[in-house]
Chains A and B, each alone.
Chain A
Amino acid sequence: MALAFAVGLFLVGAPLQAQQTGTVTGNVNDAQSGAILPSVQVYLVGSGLGTLTNNNGRYLIVNVPAGSYTLRAERLGYATQDMQIEVTGGGTVTQDFSLESEALGLDEIVVTGTAGAARRREVGNTISQVDVADLPDNPTNVDGLLQARIPGMSVMQSSGNAGGGAKIRLRGNVSVAQSNQPLIYIDGVRMRSDAFHKNVPPTGYPGRSGNDVASPLNNINPDDIARIEVIKGAAATTLYGTEAAAGVIQIFTKRGHQGQARWNASIEQGFQRLQKFGVDPGLRPSSEAAETSAGGTSDYVFINPWLRDAYQQKYSLSVSGGGDALQYFVSGSYSDDEGVLPNDQQTTSTVRGNFTFSPLENLQLQWNTSYTNDEFFNTAAGNNAHGLTLNVFRRDANYRGSEAREDIDPLLGQTISTQIDHLITGGTATWTPRTNFTNRLSIGYDLAQQNNRNLRPFGFALAQNGILSDGRSEFETLTFDYVGTLSFDLTGSIGSALSFGGQSVTTETQQTVAYGEDFPGPGDPTVTTAGTKLGFELRERVVNAGFFAQNVFDISDKYFITVGGRVDGNSAFGEDFGLQFYPKVSGSWVVSDESFWSMDGSQLKLRAAWGESGRAPGAFDAVQTYDGVGWGGVPAFFPRVLGNADLGPERTAEWEMGFDGSFLDNRLSLDFTYYNQTTSEALFAVRQAPSTGFIDVNGGNSQLENVGEINNQGIEIAANYQVIQGREWSWDIGTSISTNQSEAGLPEEVANISVGGNGWIIDGEPVPVIRGFKVMNPDAIADPDIQPDQIYGPNAPTQIIGVHSSLTMPGGILLSVRGEYQGGHYVTQGVAINAIGRSVIWPGCYEAYAIAGTDVSQGPLSATDPGYDQLTASQRARCNPNLAEGEFWAEPADFFKLRQVTLQFPVPEAWIPGTAGANLTLSGQNLWRWTNDEWTHYDPEMGGNSDNNAISRDGVSNGDFLVTSISEHIPVPATFTVALRVNF
């Protein structure tokens, strides 16, 4: 299959034109620094001939018929440059370019917050964009690509499990009942943004799993991406309508270009290694052995005997090119990654074909298709009594009654395998009947099929007769999208661009799960062979449809006012609920285009925007329903959803203001934004008094209601400064700073809402806030003064600071570093209390044991220990099993992580004959972590993603997807890779 694929790529990549007359070649560099510029599109205007510069900034166009041409060089972030050339038969024209950087790129086309596309200068919202072609590193997935790059965005990798996806938040949580995961569009096609289904049996304890979930976002090959726009907040997402309040991620994949085929091949090899996340063994009391019988030490919370250096490999190949009428980009990749846990393994294959066809001068057809096969195996982990991690962390008070290797290893006999086949295909027709009138119609289809197989075989240590669950899920998203734009001049200096259109998005989820237990004997079972068999089915369809209109008033190309709105209907709205209207207005002023602007080499745009967006309730939330639950084989009803005919979407209104500027001869770029968003009519799962008795089979007794408010406000700053600009040496530094202060508003009649992990929604407090029992005299040498219902602080970070720097050295060697700080929040170490409450000798209590003189061979801390009276109140509360409560382990979770260090060496073309340049890249990710002094162990970023889907879609309860809490997982390991990328 791989051979066939390669042959196919070569066939596609064959030159469309074979005429040989002349050659055009040259180098492209940055006018200020002299640095070479890869991925610049260089083409002969109107000829269909062109290419991209290679990693050495060099381009080569052959087969150019003799004649006069305009040679154009284009690249995002740089001003386009034209050169007139004369090509002769058999001759070679050498034409170099020095492109002027445009820190603001005011005339770049973006889609942020607009109907269709717009120039940056017209947009009243902040624009966050990642030009993937500019990235020196090559992250293994899109989660990693986005991490620490966008102000206001947090990307939290929740565990070190293979296949795990990140929890992404833009400007905090805008909902406590619905998903806060941003919508994802790829080349205009809406794809599933919420996580795939967790691989867990549908009955019994819901944690018999690896307890992490995969993200559809990671089904996109990062090598295929040209750029990503992140659209934050309701002021920008208005035209996306209901469902867009949590923001939108727009991904644009690479497209073909005019000219000869250009091939890119890369080979990447590496490994993952888990860094220490436990407690220094030197702190252990004298009665504690240095190692467990299995060889585990406290700096890894005893799991090191089961860890491995995990081999990673990835191979990619792509080709792009085309002629006047048809351009193409075709790619494929294969990766095979071990995980650091013994059963973890992930294999991913992707193929993509992007085609642009221009049959008429005023008609362009674009068809993009990708297919991903993602298969991964997980080790049972998380809060799972059958899992490896829990039983290791709980030492000899675990479910095996032993921490010996021979007693733990049998737990690895279970198989947790997930296979995801993901097809995303979509076409866009752009018709421009008149120069001032464009029409764009897009149709997209996203189909993901997931097979979850979860087997504890016959003879398994903790389920002797065996248990098998086999689930098939299908996720479909169908998008129809039309937008028309009519531009005309109202007066000589005032232009108008009217955009209008409609969009329909239908999402459908189907899941069937076969479950069996009690197998007759060993062997590879099917559910059919089980003694007890159960079946489960879910079908859910939601349709959202709306119309929008927008007008941009352009005054002298300096002042822009945009007004618009969208009207939405949604199948999940209550019967008594009509359509929803979401308005928006924004403005921008390019101050630097004014005659009074005297700062040469600088630009400034002021902007402000206000808008509304929404989030729809779940498919079943509005209607009173019962469940057919069965009872021993006979039919039985149970309550399900109380119902609320007035149920509608929650509405998020936001205003933001700020500026985009470039100063100091464009060496300093600075963006600043202040935002203030309020979700009103917020959907809260309002708990009903249990004595009313309408309680579902899972114990939920809440009903979604449009009550209360959620407010988020903060600032976002992005700054970049070119410290050194030179041909040999250049040095850039940058930072992104964002803050988020959230506050819940609950009506008096609505009770505080528990969202798990000691997280609460409380009037006047952050969303969510950690609350519970607290030691009021933590540092006193005394018994703890414990008070209930005390506030610790927000669970979500209130400050995120990203820093990055890149240093270019002679020879084009590039060193790039990126780090991120998150802080201001509290996270509960659930893993600690889960162990201490079971009298486990816990590393986090080593200091207390040592002071108290606890003989840990006889048991945990006790009030009768000789030095107990010397302990602080906090130590007693945390480590005495008779006192311990989970909230005592809520800790300030500030951290800094060195996300990435990359060293890139250009490889001379002569070193690899037949190529057009190559790069050798050494890269490390998540190499180092700093935590607050009060943070005791584990990783503040892990946890909280056992299921990042909102579970309130049935009006059951608010989901623990909202809260980060440390469970029995391992952190994300460090990754070290070396990659060779070759152009030819």
Chain B
Amino acid sequence: MKSTNTHRADRGCTSRRATSGLRGLLALGLAFGVAACDTDVVNPGPIAGDFLDSPDAQAAITNGAGRALGDAMNWISYTSASVAREIHPSGSTGSFGITPEQQRGELNNDEVNTHWENVHRARFMVEDGLDRIDQLEAGEQDDEVLAQLYLWGGYTYRLAGESLCEAVIDGGSAQDHGVFFTRAIELFDQAASLGTGDVRTAAVAGRASVKVWQGDWAGALADAGSVPDDFSYVMPYYDIGDDNQGNRLYIAAKSEPYKAHSQWSTWVEGYGMSEDTPDGDPRVPYTITGTVGDASTSCCGEVPFNPQTKYENDDAAIELSSGPEMRLLEAENALFNDSDMATAVAIINELRADAGVDPIAPASMTEAQMMFLREHAIEQWLEARRLPALWRWNEAGVPLETLLQPLEQVGDGNIQTGSHLQERDFCFPISEGEEQTNPNVG
């Protein structure tokens, strides 16, 4: 791999030599000048764009798309967890922190630039990579690698559709975020068609989750049904000394130095498994440190630092699709579309049994829906999926104000009386940077 900036000044030197009228007098200067004209430079390091058209570049293109998706998920899972109240802010507002506005539940356009950019970089990496691989000669394509690229693409567009309020493609105008889902389905289809094994199953599971957004419950259930209960497909993160490749939710509460979020005053506190609640639900574990966060919070001053322990290292993976997710999708359909409480409760209790926690026994449909929403929160805790789910249910008219647990609700800002959230945005708006640079949305 070689690059890069090779530029010439030869032409001008030649003309200067030809026009010089002081040849004899300037002999010394010109001799020196010939050497000085050589401005050809090859600098190592960066890789010329053309190289990515090589068949040998397919794997690195696909890995780049995967890393880009991981970056996007890293930011969105963290910030959305705060707004969805999966975590409570406990300090830092800058690096690895939660801004005061986000602490209040606001996703404002001047504070979502990185989230927006990361999603679109991931999208670009997929589309640019596919364009390049499409141009390869027959036989040069690596189907396994290509299937993986399609899969990353599907998840990328799912993340975009689930998280961004509006869709903007390549500097175009704003569209309904549903266009992301349309593209996600296309890419999941390709991945399912070309891929094998886990890649194929993940594509089917991902497609199922997107079809729910599209209202295609039949299609969703058909896909979900082919995903085994114990299936899990994850986005990997790495502990290699590069924070960008590590799990951001973990690093932000790693105490080196950030202690930016806690489970204090969330629904997890007292329900999940911790030193104080050893019999709590092991799917939502946290720890009691006896210390406070790394800075005062605007709502509550210094708050106890009791961070999650679902992710226990930089390299903790975040789940993209799973069997339990599919089962909950089936339960949701039974409960909300078919009013079939028994089926839904049976599915939920099977999941709870697998986790070793007590079954639920709702006395009413409303209570069952409450328990379903909590179960969803448990299963997809800190996976960048909770805030989108709240958005989808809110759009569908699900009465969140009655079904969500009190500490997951929007409150009056007073932590003494409930949630400190004063409002809640459900999605990431078009970023300030996009508005400033894209005349079609500005």
Q: Contact between A500 and B22 (Cβ–Cβ < 8 Å)? A: yes
Cα-based distance from A205 to B92 in the complex (angstroms): 14
Evaluate contact between B434 and A690: CB separation under 8 angstroms: yes
B225 sits at the interface (CB 8 A): no
Bound-state CA distance A837–B43 (Å) is: 44
A625 & B121 in contact (Cβ 8 Å cutoff): no
**Given A541-B41, A575-B7, A691-B434, residue A632 in contact with residue B256 (CB < 8 A):** no
Contact A625 B257 (CB under 8 A): no
Q: Mark each residue of chain B from 98 to 123: 1 if its CB lies under 8 Å from any CB of chain A, else 0.
A: 00100010000000011011101111
Q: Are B238 and A633 in contact (CB under 8 A)?
A: yes
Tell whether, in the assembled complex, residue B258 and residue A540 are in contact, meaning their CB atoms are under 8 Å apart.
no
Are A632's CB and B39's CB within 8 A? no
Interface string of A392-435 (1 = CB under 8 A from B): 00101111010000000000000000000000000000000000
Interface residue count on the A side (C-beta < 8 Å):
101
Q: Quick one: CB contact mask for B17-55 with A, threshold 8 Å, 1 for yes?
A: 000001001101100110111111101111111011000
Q: How far is the CB of A966 from chain B (nearest CB, A)?
A: 15
What is the bound-complex CA distance between A643 and B7, given in angstroms?
14
CB distance from B434 to the nearest CB of A (A): 5
Q: Is the CB of B121 within 8 A of A500?
A: no
Docked complex Cα distance between A209 and B112 (Å): 27
Say whether A620 contacts B257, CB under 8 Å. no
Partner of A859, one of B40, B123, B244, B301: B301
Within 425-439 of B, Cβ neighbours of A (below 8 Å) are at 431, 433-434, 436-439
Is A118 part of the contact surface with B, judged by Cβ < 8 Å? no
CA distance in complex: A639, B60 (Å): 12
Q: Interface segment, A158-166, A596-604, A693-701?
A: A693-701
A713 within 8 A of B: no
Q: Is A570 an interface residue (CB 8 A)?
A: yes
B242 lies within 8 A of chain A by Cβ:
yes
> Is B59 positioned at the interface, with any CB of A under 8 Å from its CB?
yes
Chain A positions 680-725 with a Cβ under 8 Å from a chain B Cβ: 687-695, 697, 699, 701
A699 and B117 contacting across the interface, CB-CB below 8 Å: yes
- Is A154's CB within 8 Å of the partner chain B? no
A691 touches B120 (CB 8 A): yes
Which residues from A are CB-within-8-Å of B255? Answer: 462
Query: B63 in the interface, Cβ–Cβ < 8 Å?
Result: yes
Spot the interface stretch: A39-47, A327-335, A478-486, A919-927.
A478-486
| A809 to B: closest C-beta gap in Å | 54
B197 at the interface (CB under 8 A from A): no
Do residues A691 and B296 form an inter-chain contact, with CB atoms below 8 A?
no
Per the bound structure, the CA–CA distance linking A979 and B98 in Å amounts to: 53
Among B97-151, those with CB < 8 Å from A are 100, 104, 113-114, 116-118, 120-125, 127-128
A694 touches B5 (CB 8 A): no
A881 touches B57 (CB 8 A): no
In the docked arrangement, what's the CA distance between A541 and B3, Å?
A: 13
Residues in A whose Cβ lies below 8 Å from that of B52 = 626, 637
Whether A840 contacts B296 by the Cβ 8 Å rule is yes
Query: Within residues 281 to 328 of chain B, which ones have a CB less than 8 A from any CB in chain A?
Result: 291-292, 294-298, 301-302
- Bound Cα distance from A383 to B300, whole angstroms: 24
Instruction: Tell whether B363 is near chain A: CB-to-CB under 8 Å.
Output: no
Query: Would you give the shortest CB distance from B320 to chain A, in whole angstroms?
Result: 16
Contacts of A303 in B (CB 8 A): none
CA distance A932 to B3 in the complex (A): 52
| Residue of A500, A631, A752 touching B63 (CB-CB under 8 A) | A631
Asked whether A399 lies within 8 Å of B28 as measured between CB atoms, the reply is no
Q: Give bound CA distance, A579 to B8, whole Å.
A: 9
Chain B residue nearest to A640 in the complex (CB): B46
Question: Chain A residues near B238 (CB, 8 Å)?
Answer: 631-633
**Once the chains bind, are A572 and B5 in contact (CB under 8 Å)?**
yes
Contact of B94 among A639, A694, A834, A882 (CB under 8 A): A834
Once the chains bind, are B94 and A623 in contact (CB under 8 Å)?
Answer: no
Q: List residues of A (623-675) whose CB comes within 8 Å of B's CBs.
A: 623-629, 631-641, 643
- Closest residue of chain B to A385 (Cβ to Cβ) is B257
Inter-subunit contact B117/A701 (CB<8 Å): yes
Complex Cα spacing A637 to B431, Å: 25
Q: Which residue of B lies closest to A467 (CB)?
A: B241
Task: Provide the bound-state CA to CA distance between A517 and B57, in Å.
Answer: 31
In the complex, which of the residues B44, B113, B170, B297 contacts A692, with contact meaning CB atoms closer than 8 Å? Answer: B170
Query: Are the C-beta atoms of A482 and B28 separated by less than 8 Å?
Result: yes
Report chain A residues within 8 Å CB of B9.
Answer: 545, 569-570, 573, 578-579
Count: A-B pairs, CB below 8 Å? 298
Considering the chains assembled together, what is the distance between the CA atoms of A386 and B95 in angstroms? Answer: 13
A residues in contact with B67, CB < 8 Å: 629, 631, 636, 638
Q: Please tell me if the beta carbons of B116 and A690 are within 8 angstroms of each other in the complex.
A: yes
Q: Report yes or no: A385 in contact with B171, Cβ–Cβ below 8 A.
A: no
Contacts of A619 in B (CB 8 A): 5, 41, 43
**Chain A proximity of B312: nearest CB distance (Å):** 15
Interface: A50 (CB within 8 A): no
Residues 232 to 265 of chain B near chain A (Cβ within 8 Å): 236-245, 255-259
Contacts A386-B257, A463-B256, A690-B116 given: A624-B7 contact, CB under 8 Å? no
Expressed in whole angstroms, the minimum distance between the Cβ of A503 and any Cβ of chain B is 7
Let me know if A791 is at the binding interface, CB within 8 A: no
Contact (Cβ within 8 A) B298 A882: yes
Which of B66, B91, B434 is the one whose CB lies under 8 Å from A636?
B66
Bound: A688/B438 CA distance, A: 8
B64 contacts the other chain (CB 8 A): yes
Tell me whether A532 and B39 are in contact (CB under 8 A): no
Q: What is the CA–CA distance of A515 and B118 in the complex, to the nearest angstrom?
A: 26
Interface residue A557 (Cβ < 8 Å from any Cβ of B) = no
Question: Does chain A have a CB within 8 A of B397?
Answer: no
Tell whether, in the assembled complex, residue B437 and residue A689 are in contact, meaning their CB atoms are under 8 Å apart.
yes
Q: Which residues of B contact A882 (CB under 8 A)?
A: 100, 104, 298
Is there an interface contact between B170 and A637, defined as CB atoms closer than 8 Å?
Answer: no
A4 at the interface (CB under 8 A from B): no
Inter-subunit contact A625/B48 (CB<8 Å): yes
Q: Which residue of B lies closest to A383 (CB)?
A: B94
CA distance A637 to B294 in the complex (A): 35
Q: Does A489 interact with chain B (Cβ within 8 Å)? A: no
Question: Which residues of B sit under 8 angstroms from A534, Cβ to Cβ?
Answer: 240-242
Q: Is B80 an interface residue (CB 8 A)?
A: no
B297 to chain A minimum Cβ distance, whole angstroms, is 7
Residues of A within 8 A of B93 (CB): 837-838
Q: CA separation between A229 and B171, bound complex, in Å?
A: 50
- Please give me the residue from chain B that is nearest to A618 by CB atom: B5
Residues of A within 8 A of B296 (CB): 397, 838-840, 859-860, 881
Residues of A within 8 A of B434 (CB): 689-691
Name the one of B39, B63, B124, B241 contacting A634, with C-beta atoms under 8 angstroms: B63
Which 4 A-B pairs have CB atoms at the shortest separation, nearest pair first? A693-B124, A569-B9, A839-B296, A504-B36
Which B residues contact A (CB, under 8 angstroms)? 1, 3-9, 11-13, 16, 22, 25-26, 28-29, 32-33, 35-41, 43-49, 51-52, 57, 59-61, 63-64, 66-68, 70, 91-95, 100, 104, 113-114, 116-118, 120-125, 127-128, 168-172, 236-245, 255-259, 291-292, 294-298, 301-302, 431, 433-434, 436-439
24 contacts between A and B (CB under 8 A): A462-B257, A500-B29, A534-B240, A534-B242, A538-B45, A539-B44, A541-B41, A569-B13, A570-B9, A578-B12, A631-B63, A634-B59, A636-B60, A636-B67, A637-B61, A687-B437, A690-B433, A695-B124, A701-B433, A837-B298, A838-B92, A838-B295, A839-B298, A859-B296
